[in-house]
Amino acid sequence: MSNLKEEIRNNLNKLQDEINFIFAQGRDTVLSEVTVGQVYGGMRGLTALACNTSYVDPYSGLHIGEYTTEDFSSRLPEEIFFLLCTGKFPESDFIGKFREDLNQRTSVPEYTWNLLRTLPKDTHPMTMLSLGILSMEKESVFKKEYQKGIQKSQYWEYTLEDALNVIAKLPELAAGIYRIRFGDGNLIPHNPDLDWAGNLANMLGLPNSGKDFSELIRLYLVLHCDHEGGNVSAFTSRVVNSALSDLYYAISAGLNGLAGPLHGLANQECLKFILKIDDRYGDSLTEEEVRKYVFETLDSGKVIPGYGHAVLRVTDPRFTAFMKFGDTYCAENNCFKITKKLFAVVPGILKTYKGGKVANPWPNVDAVSGSLLYNFGLDQFDYYTVLFGVSRILGFCAQNILALGLGQPIIRPKSVTNKWIIDKLRER
């Protein structure tokens, strides 16, 4: 048995002490004021949530606990889950013990496979992932215990059980979705000796799936794990769980948000964009042709996928980590070369396009991830968001475990009508 639960308890005690201190210092302190523009503008820039798994600094990107992306990008996803939940890296014996625990929980129920196999052939793999997890909802330990009448202070412990049960099944479920949707439907068995990412890479059954591909999947699953609390998928998952809908409902809901083109689907949009450039110009693509294509896209009212961010104001460090991988493992790949050419051209264009309306002209993680997967023969880009989802579930789980452990209430901000706002403006 790993010490994950004990360390989460320690973290919860520490976080609770901090909250007690914060409340004692000034429960009524104003952190953020809301403007009319923010009410109509997706609440951008409104500080209204506490999330202790990770935070995104506009200028240095994703931090988990005190660690920067560079600090944690070489770790295993299992260690990242520990870090998200506890704020620290595990001891060296954690991986072995945690793997033993997960190995007891891997098996995806037959009824889930039956459901996934009966879906129409053109069902989006994200729909399959979301439905696959939702279909297992009846297994929720939290729900069963809640119905028996548990204490509020125990909610997080049973939610952790649900989290471990889902996380253990994810490689098999996600790889199975790939095999059903894009392969011959035969599933490759889970290998108890492989780590979480290695198993997923192996069970996809790609001809090209050697050590380097496993390394890419590891990096992918680490870099997409969490992005603080206000992004569409994490926030959705938290809102749903705050109603004490169990983790299966909350994860499925979060994934439905991740499936949108402005969020998790952006990586497949990016690769489509790159492939179109490749199709039109081929190998001999010049910088001038890239510029022309980018302007054509912008002038037709479309966004440049993989560029811009609601919070970041620099090149996403996750993009940088992937570029480093690309330079090492696939420097000669055409898509990767186009990715590099776009990086050289797009920020300069977006900085000044339409008076510089784009708040962040720099690339986000999605600008490169698809090119790398494509290089290894993972050419079904509808599947890419599933990999994003598998990783991001680590964040959904950690955020919900900590929020329940801190006794956070149901989330219910106030909405108002146009008339209410007009009346308010008249009062000025």
**Cβ distance to ligand AMX smaller for residue 165 or 268:** 268
224 is catalytic: no
* Helices marked H in 190-286: 196-204, 211-223, 232-242, 247-258, 266-281
Minimum CB separation from ligand AMX for residue 246, in Å? 25
Q: Where are the beta strands (DSSP E) in 42-180?
A: 54-57, 61-64, 67-68
Task: Give helix 247-258 / helix 155-182 axis angle, nearest 10°.
Answer: 50
In 3D space, the residue among 58, 70, 89 whose CA is nearest the CA of residue 219 turns out to be: 70
190 is catalytic: no
Distances (CA, A) of 330 to 212, 318, 324, 335, 337: 10, 17, 10, 9, 9
Minimum CB separation from ligand AMX for residue 388, in Å? 7
Q: Which residue is it, tokens 């991001």? A: 392
Binding site for ligand AMX (CB under 6 A): 44, 262-264, 266, 298, 303-310, 357-360, 364, 366
Per DSSP, the three-state class of 385 is helix
| CA 71 – CA 60 distance, rounded (Å) | 12
In 3D space, the residue among 143, 173, 149 whose CA is nearest the CA of residue 161 turns out to be: 143
**Cβ distance to ligand AMX smaller for residue 140 or 360:** 360
**Cβ distance to ligand AMX smaller for residue 43 or 50:** 43
Selecting among 190, 224, 227, 309, the annotated active-site residue is 309
| CA 316 – CA 336 distance, rounded (Å) | 17
Minimum CB separation from ligand AMX for residue 231, in Å? 6
Q: Which residue is it, tokens 């290695």? A: 198
**Cβ distance to ligand AMX smaller for residue 220 or 307:** 307
Minimum CB separation from ligand AMX for residue 222, in Å? 15
**CA angle 136–142–147, rounded 5-degree value:** 105
Burial of 32-58, coded b for 16+ CB within 10 Å and e otherwise, reads eeeeeeeeeeebeebeebebbbbbbee
Minimum CB separation from ligand AMX for residue 275, in Å? 16
Selecting among 366, 379, 382, 423, the annotated active-site residue is 366
Residue 212: CB atoms within 10 Å:
16
**Cβ distance to ligand AMX smaller for residue 44 or 280:** 44
- Using Cβ positions, the residue closest to ligand AMX within the complex turns out to be 308
Selecting among 263, 279, 299, 382, the annotated active-site residue is 263
**Cβ distance to ligand AMX smaller for residue 241 or 360:** 360
Q: Residue 325 corresponds to which tokens in the numbers above?
A: 């991988």
Strand partners, 55: 63
Minimum CB separation from ligand AMX for residue 393, in Å? 15
Minimum CB separation from ligand AMX for residue 367, in Å? 7
**Cβ distance to ligand AMX smaller for residue 198 or 395:** 395
By annotation, the residues acting in catalysis are: 263, 309, 366
